[in-house]
Amino acid sequence: MITSGSDSVEDVDHVEQQVSTGRLPAWEQVERLTVEAHDRYRHLDDGQVADYIPLLAEADPASFGISVAEVDGATHDVGDSGHPFSIQSISKAFVYALVCNSRGHRIVKDRVGVNNTGLPFNSVMAIELNDGHPMNPMVNAGAIATTALMPGTDTAERWEAIRTGLSAFAGRRLEVDDEVYASEMATNVRNRAIAQLLQSYGRLDGDPVETVDVYTRQCALMVSTHDLSVMGATLADGGVNPVTGEQVISAAVCRDTLSMLAASGMYERSGEGLFKIGIPAKSGVSGGIVAIAPGKCAIGAFSPRLDPAGNSVRGRCAIAHLSRALGLNVFASRAESQ
């Protein structure tokens, strides 16, 4: 059994650091390394399954899947890669991209912001400390404000635009898990309070209760690691879904979204995540993570055991392993021969 004291995401020096060549290795090598990452971390038992949403507490802590989608449409799926789970906070990245694509990134930047709060994802204090500003779209306050900016004449139209948009990223129709939605609606008192606080500062368009309802529905959409990898690969490929060929968003919006994820995608441990993984990533409390290597691929991972910030422990380990082994880290380089 691997524990954090022996070999975890804090220690991937056992993997030789590859430097980016601008392309991935051959399909067979990517497949082998994906299997290797899964095998290495499938017995890692650090972390706890989220229980503040009752239905999430029922997740099997042994579940573990990894998927890699390349920008040319090639895919690699290992372990529980087809296991469905609720997308949760990972939805924030893709709704942000959809809103930026439809309304322009300036209004989202002004209304929501781009800076990490350094506080937990559901912090009320962060709003008050920043004069009502949500600070970034990857925390709950910023995500709720972003959802409110989704174009539509009414709540139903805005929700359908979100569901359709996230489905276009995945390359298939995504559906809400009604049990997850009901479980979250029964326990999202803090999110309702956050929405009302944002409204009091003039930072929220529309009714706060209706906005939280739409936000909760988007978090309850069901995905697999295969879906996450295709969604992420769409961001890696200038907004074109590599499986369907559909232009979902613009290349400029991809750039803005990935820069946002680099800064804030892993909650208050985003700096640590970028330091270890070296590519933009977004996590969710159900245990999913998507990590994106621009121009190359995306990695989807799922395992319900979380670190104290809400990031999948096995997922972070596996992604750090693959980032190093596949030469994905955008900060890695070697000195030129003299």
How far apart (Å, rounded) are the C-alpha atoms in residues 50 and 14? 30
Which residues, in sequence order, are CB contacts of 81 under 8 Å at separation 6+?
Answer: 65, 66, 67, 224, 225, 226, 300
3-state secondary structure (DSSP) of residue 169: helix
Q: Which residues are annotated as a binding site for substrate?
A: 89, 140, 184, 191, 215, 267, 285
How far apart (Å, rounded) are the C-alpha atoms in residues 245 and 200? 43
Query: In the numeric block, which tokens belong to residue 292?
Result: 């994106």
How far the first Cα of the chain sits from its last, in Å, is 44
How far apart (Å, rounded) are the C-alpha atoms in residues 2 and 121? 28
| Torsion angles phi and psi, residue 58, rounded to 5 | -85, 0
Q: Which residues are catalytic?
A: 89, 92, 215, 267, 285
List, as one string, the DSSP characters of 44-77.
Answer: ---SEE--SSGGGGGS-TT--EEEEEETTS-EEE
Alpha carbon 3 to chain centroid, angstroms:
24
Task: Select from 270, 267, 287 the least CA-distant residue to 279.
Answer: 270
Q: Strands 48-49 and 288-293, how do they pair?
A: unpaired
Q: Which residues are annotated as a binding site?
A: 89, 140, 184, 191, 215, 267, 285
What are the residue ranges of helices labelled H in 19-154?
Answer: 27-41, 91-103, 105-111, 125-129, 140-148
Which residues, in sequence order, are CB contacts of 189 under 8 Å at separation 6+?
Answer: none
